[in-house]
Amino acid sequence: MVFLILVGWYTEGVPRFPFLTDFMSNPVTPASRFLNRELGLLAFNGRVLSLVEDDETPLLEQLRYLCIVSSNLDEFFEIRVAGLKQQIREGITKTGPDGLPPLRVYRLVCNVAHELVAHQYHLLNERVLPRLAEEGICFHRRNHWTEAQHAWARNYYLREIKPVLTPIGLDTAHPFPRILNKSLNFAVELSGVDAFGRPCTHAVVQAPRSLPRFIQLPEEICGCPYGFIFLSSILHANVGDLFHGLTVEGCYQFRLTRNSELLLEDEEVSDLRLALQGELSHRQYGDEVRLEVPENCSETMAQFLLDTFELEETDLYRVDGPVNLVRLMRVADLVDRPDLKFPSFQPQLPRELDQTVPLIETLKKRDLLLHHPFQPFMPVIQFVQQAARDPAVLAIKQTVYRTGTDSELIEALIEAAHQGKEVTVVVELLARFDEEANINWAEKLEAAGAHVVYGVFGYKTHAKMCLIIRREQGELRRYVHLGTGNYHARTTRTYTDFGLFTAHPEITADVSAIFMQITGLGKQERLRHLWQAPFTLHSGTLQAIAREIQFARKGDKAHIIAKMNALTEPLLIEALYEASQAGVHIDLIIRGVCLLRPGVKGLSEHIRVRSLIGRFLEHHRVMYFRHGGSHNVFIASADWMDRNFFRRIEVCIPILDPRIKRRILSEGLRSYLRDNHAAWIMNGEGQYARTHPRRGSSCFRVHDFLLQHLSQKSSSS
């Protein structure tokens, strides 16, 4: 049995990270009322890796999870580790809520990250690749190429690779080239003298990003249905061709990760889009953070690269395989083996949604809830498309945080602008790693005649809102869509989220007021129902917790259930501790980082924390407060984090329709508390233990349940 902990995992009760024994065994003190965020992020990725070790995970999905961990770690180093290194350089010793100074956190993170990466590549080489080979999906290593494969690779190199390569010899006239963030490069050790009489020792070959990182072989060449070779293998086999007359002593792939956080100072920005466009070009060349090399990289070359990039030994990651596993994500798409993937499913429309009737006509009668990915995102797109073509619609207002490079919804907004509608789009230009796509959409929307604003500088617009204003019988009426997730059609197929359509006059008036606040100037307006960050969301949540405390102290039943991606805000954690001590029962379903310590006697013994890691990425934010039997339910765009409460524009929506309230409570909370297969239970030391059905009880998988439940309750007609 395998148990994941905050900073790694235990195997058969033996800690794999003995250097943390003193840290984890300390009693809870005021400084240690909180766990560490960075270690929590690494623990989350350890739980994702557990799906690779689960025989019930289809084989190609195991490969996907390995790639997802690599992608997550890239961002972790680009943002979190980069931030720690910057604090250390600047001599900052101020501790976070966990009481650990940056240097201590950095050392812990390095140790855990090295263990995590080593385990990841062990799973790749000892589990996933051999099993794929048994299924006729082979990655041919250079040392095992047949003569025909050698010939094919040589021909491919001459035809597709060599013409776009530029080998760079390193000497006083050729300094080390600038290395792009996360790009694939090759460091070459040479001996000999060139045509000009110069001694040659080192060279660098940069692989253009236009080249595929793996290439599929013809079946007659590879001898199996799906055969692939890595670009690095082809280049290694032919690197001598680039340095005629010299001896190649060694050739090693390497990959450099840089600080990718964008820094824009308020007083220096007059045009946010222009400033951001300038800053994006520098992201590829931020401070160096991590160096990845193959296991066989010589000590001399590894030290040369570390010295060149001014990195320490702890920043060096030796890996047994490609230095970038993210690119292997495409393999699952290229291989037509449905039996090695999760079973396909068709999201079903809610029974009450009649496709022959405009969506707005349905909303005149009732509110509508969509639960993605079990129910489709298409009605959200149709909401805007129908409004764009509806002569009675006067205006559409929309927030855009992440929407992708190809968006039917944005195209519908452009169409609405062309149709003469008043279209206002709040585009968040600082959505991390989506900045370029959002800039492009902003330019297209402006060209179509839409009003494009970039929110409020210093406060990311993270709320998910769409407002349609329509003239009906001489009066204006509003309709809105509010969601927990992004307006991104692709991610709605894999992220769990709720989307609410309503024409409730007070809810829609609140949404209208928030749009006015974002696009215009003026004092905060008192909202009727919605909680809004950075104004009332934090205080509203604290007040809801305080009311549960009051009920508990009076001897009434008191219960809080909350589901989110992360819990890090100290004041809220302290409020939950107080609620626990008052006797409030608290169930927290937190996918990723949780700084709260549950189940600690005298502190949090009535708090239970679970994390669900499964087929879909848990993304919806839901809150339940028993409130003396009123059963208050909310959905929100915000996690319980400092940034969401105080540095973002977020909305939290009370569910007023009893029918929808029951659905959210059942589908979004209680069913998750029943899961005994994909859930991990957290203890007060930050350790996670995977749940298993009790002897004699059946296995309950929440994702399977929701797929079946919502299919039965929906109509495909």
**Using an 8 Å Cβ cutoff, are 4 and 680 in contact?**
yes
State the Cα angle at 282 between 434 and 293, rounded to 5°: 90
- d(CA 538, CA 523) in angstroms, rounded, equals 19
Number of H helices, E strands in the chain: 23, 32
Separation between Cα atoms, residue 620 and residue 649, nearest integer Å = 17
Distance between CA 613 and CA 54 in Å, rounded? 12
Q: And the tokens for 408?
A: 């039917």
**CB contact at 8 A, 383 and 481:** yes
How far, in Å, CA of 122 to CA of 521, rounded? 56
Q: Rounded CA gap, 492 and 370, in Å?
A: 11
Q: Is 462 a catalytic residue?
A: yes
Q: What is the DSSP letter of 456?
A: B
CA dihedral over 671, 677, 678, 681, signed as positive or negative:
positive
> Beta 460-461 vs 288-294: how paired, if at all?
unpaired
- Distance in angstroms (rounded) separating the CA atoms of residues 423 and 425: 7
- Determine if residue 663 is labeled as part of a ligand binding site: no
Q: Please give the DSSP secondary-structure letter assigned to residue 590.
A: E
Q: Which helix (H) or strand (E) holds 564?
A: strand 559-564
What are the tokens at 488? 């991104």
Other Cβ atoms within 10 Å of 210 Cβ, number: 6
Angle subtended at Cα 124 by Cα 119 and Cα 127, rounded to the nearest 5 degrees: 100
For residues 623 and 612, what is the distance between their CA atoms, to the nearest angstrom? 17
Structure tokens belonging to residue 499: 């989307």
Beta carbons of 383 and 501 less than 8 angstroms apart: yes
The H or E element containing residue 64 is helix 59-75
Quick one: tokens of 295?
């296991």
Cα separation, 226 vs 523, whole angstroms:
62
What is the rounded end-to-end Cα distance, in angstroms, of the chain? 46
* 620 annotated ligand binder: no
Whose tokens are 């604003």? That residue is 453
Q: Is 273 part of any known ligand binding site?
A: no
Label residues 553-575 b or e (16+ Cβ within 10 Å = b). Answer: eeeeebbbbbbbbbbbbeebbeb
The answer to whether 688 is a known ligand-binding residue is: no
What gap in Å lies between CA 646 and CA 342, rounded to an integer?
A: 39
Note the helical H segments in 642-701. Answer: 642-646, 658-664, 671-674
Rounded to whole angstroms, the Cα distance separating 401 from 640 reads: 18
CA distance 601 to 308: 51
- Whether 459 has a binding-site annotation, put simply, is no
Helix (H, G, I), strand (E, B) or coil at 460: strand
For residue 48, what is the enclosing H or E element? helix 37-52
Given a contact cutoff of 8 angstroms between Cβ atoms, the answer to whether 6 and 686 are in contact is yes
Residue of 462, 620, 677, 703 marked catalytic: 462
Query: Is 119 annotated as a binding-site member?
Result: no
Among 55, 50, 49, residue whose Cα is nearest residue 69? 49
**Binding-site sequence positions for ATP:** 72, 495, 591, 619
Question: Which residues contribute to the annotated binding site?
Answer: 72, 402, 432, 495, 591, 619
User: From the annotation, which residues make up the binding site for Mg(2+)?
Assistant: 402, 432
Write out the catalytic residue numbers. 462
